[in-house]
Structure 1
């Protein structure tokens, strides 16, 4: 295993200590990068990564040269998925297309990170345009296994301890799956909660910026800083949250091992007095089991790349080429129908939670542990995708292992109630640890 402990909150607390040195933080980062990056390949290669980091450090020291109060992320390395534009770094999006075609203006999230004092450690590896394609990144828990996709590099960088915080994006599964596989906390906020300006989009109706940290306290600190209009939320009622588990095909999309782990976790919660309700969901099983969501994404992908694809088709990877060609055949009426269904499902889920008294939906984060690299599988969309389709916030907690590999426990909240989700997760999280055989 290539795992080091790194705490965002501890690093934030040290910023104001006497003797704190930005140079020491950077030296430790570069030392770990030299040790670990040749094995996990979390970052998009740079011609001179040290020069880029030295320039970032110099800019910070110019801005905060005296004894004034330092910003909360002062000098802390943060990794950013290579779909987000970062001034001073090219955007390649896992593609062979020219960076001149892809790089654009830095968006508000990266600007906020820099205003908070963060050092942008580098761009992290993604599958091509977050859709599909070969990646070099490996799972720090076992380099013969995938870290997940498409936010592969961001999850691996945090799991290895290179950075205490990384930024990713999710369409179908791209925060929750790599968080589960890499044994870190992954948080996908409600759709639209974090602005998407300065991001190369796969599917504008789906895409959501998300975050990775090693533990929940760090994620709460990151959310408070980076999610607009974040309001600290405490659960005033001392009762435990009521947990909802979907009935139907949803809970069949997992291996027998994962099902056994999840059932053991739920049984443990019930012994502690948690109420669990099995609920008929307001969606058709075909939405989960079929390809309607994928068609929707491919249709939006095709429209977003219409002009660039027409001129540079040969530079696209085969999986993305094929997806765009399929997407071109999808009528606009079908896409509009999917968008209407998104809004309807969002409302129906909110009403169902009220009707059934559900505080959190829960499930495994993935249907299995990280596949082997040679399987060419970076995750399954079944468990996280439908919640993302409805725009709901979700969290994957690293609270189980099967053999040597992590498995996340997914908690899903009501749309727009991200603060309540993290508060309930804080309450339930300590009761979920499960260690499987061989762990």
Structure 2
């Protein structure tokens, strides 16, 4: 087996080992382990690593321990509330929590408490999950990063805007953390921190109570295993529903079975030209390995429908930035009026452009988005899923730049489910492979992801 496809796994098995939760549940039931003991192991890792990683904004250890004790009692009685009963979870600091401030990465909201839980937080609490704390987000969930560092190399960015969530899972502090994605805020940091990232179908998990509500904003999960990513997402949707007007996440309350896809479309998007020859070669070798297992691999060079999709999706990043900028310019303008330093210069510069976008331009952008989605739907009968990279390379050095979202934006503009799988390594750091499915076929995508991971001998 090629070392570039497996080396990052062995690295994480040392200091940066990611946590899993589902495989501990039998021990909880038999009494050889407990949710409280599991939580304490998480806290010990946080104590050891948080000073350098800085993944969390705030924590409520008193409530977390009390909730873990209650979960321990339920397991002792053989009556857990759900598959995530006792699971410690980090919450991206865009979501309201009744017991902790919601600061959204901005000094304007420092210490601001709403005294209520976002829908997903309330739903997870009802499912027995333990809300351990709030994780760092970039300013307003956009571009200006917080202090979080990549746990695999603290001189590098963890990505953004779900930086704290990605780093907390990558550092083994929690098995699961909530993230969001509008452009590339979940898939990209999953790649950089070497964890499993799941961006579901748009609206599949209720995001009510989040700071922003943009037309591409979707709630998803960072996790130490595919199984934990699925059960956390499924239970969150089961207890909190989907976004208003959306049917929620389809599937079953157990891990998905491995499913070999009939055909995958290898897509390049506008990101391909930004990749180094080394990254391109690694990706091609991985795709070749999948093809050798009997999966039909098609691409833009042999399928006219794939070529049409590739051409349509090339401007996805520019379209997305303008759509979201237009939608968010009103609250940002209000914040800007609070003073010259109320918002970062990064956001302020972008805001000046967004203010110039007219209503008719916005309507045209929405039409372009719909055309891209239509091109994607045309692939449904012949292509089981799309496969591409999660990022252009390893996490960049430094903390000011969170990395290029060019690969991650594809699933965002489609509103389709995507999963980042930690299968490659470049520059001694992880690089994710992304698979993209079709709306409301999230469970099917997990089955494909499990099969892909299995052929590379990875624990899922």
Verify same fold: TM over 0.5.
Answer: yes
The superposition leaves residues 17-74 of structure 1 with CA deviations (integer Å, 9 ceiling, x where unpaired) of: 225444323322221111111121110145xx4345345457x469959836122333
1:339 aligns with 2:339: no
Query: Shift in Å at residue 272 of structure 1?
Result: 2.2
Query: Shift in Å at residue 348 of structure 1?
Result: 2.4
Change (3 A) 1:167 1:350: same
The superposition leaves residues 265-313 of structure 1 with CA deviations (integer Å, 9 ceiling, x where unpaired) of: 1121222222111120336468437623212221111124344443456
Q: Where do 1:390-405 residues align within 5 Å?
A: 390-405=414-429
Please tell me the root mean square deviation across aligned C-alpha atoms, in Å: 2.8
Farther off after superposition, 168-177 or 398-407 = 398-407
Counterparts of 2:436 and 2:443, CA distance in 1: 12
1:137 aligns with 2:148: yes
1:41 aligns with 2:54: yes
Change (3 A) 1:195 1:71: same
The superposition leaves residues 316-335 of structure 1 with CA deviations (integer Å, 9 ceiling, x where unpaired) of: 22212222232222112222
Q: Which among 148, 168, 175 is matched to residue 164 of structure 1?
A: 175
SS, match of residue 440 in structure 2 = coil
Farther off after superposition, 277-286 or 74-83 = 277-286
Counterparts of 2:317 and 2:450, CA distance in 1: 34
SS, match of residue 315 in structure 2 = helix
Counterparts of 1:432 and 1:254, CA distance in 2: 23
Counterparts of 1:238 and 1:289, CA distance in 2: 30
SS, match of residue 221 in structure 2 = strand
Counterparts of 1:234 and 1:25, CA distance in 2: 21
Q: Where do 1:23-422 residues align within 5 Å?
A: 23-45=36-58, 49-54=60-65, 56-57=67-68, 60=70, 67=77, 69-72=79-82, 73-99=84-110, 103=114, 105-201=116-212, 204-227=214-237, 228-232=248-252, 240-246=261-267, 249-278=270-299, 279-282=306-309, 284=311, 287-288=314-315, 291-311=318-338, 314-354=341-381, 357-373=382-398, 376-422=400-446
Farther off after superposition, 412-421 or 119-128 = 412-421
TM-score, structure 2 normalization: 0.85
Change (3 A) 1:145 1:65: closer
Change (3 A) 1:387 1:54: closer
Farther off after superposition, 117-126 or 277-286 = 277-286
Change (3 A) 1:321 1:395: same
Counterparts of 1:332 and 1:257, CA distance in 2: 43
Query: Shift in Å at residue 136 of structure 1?
Result: 1.2
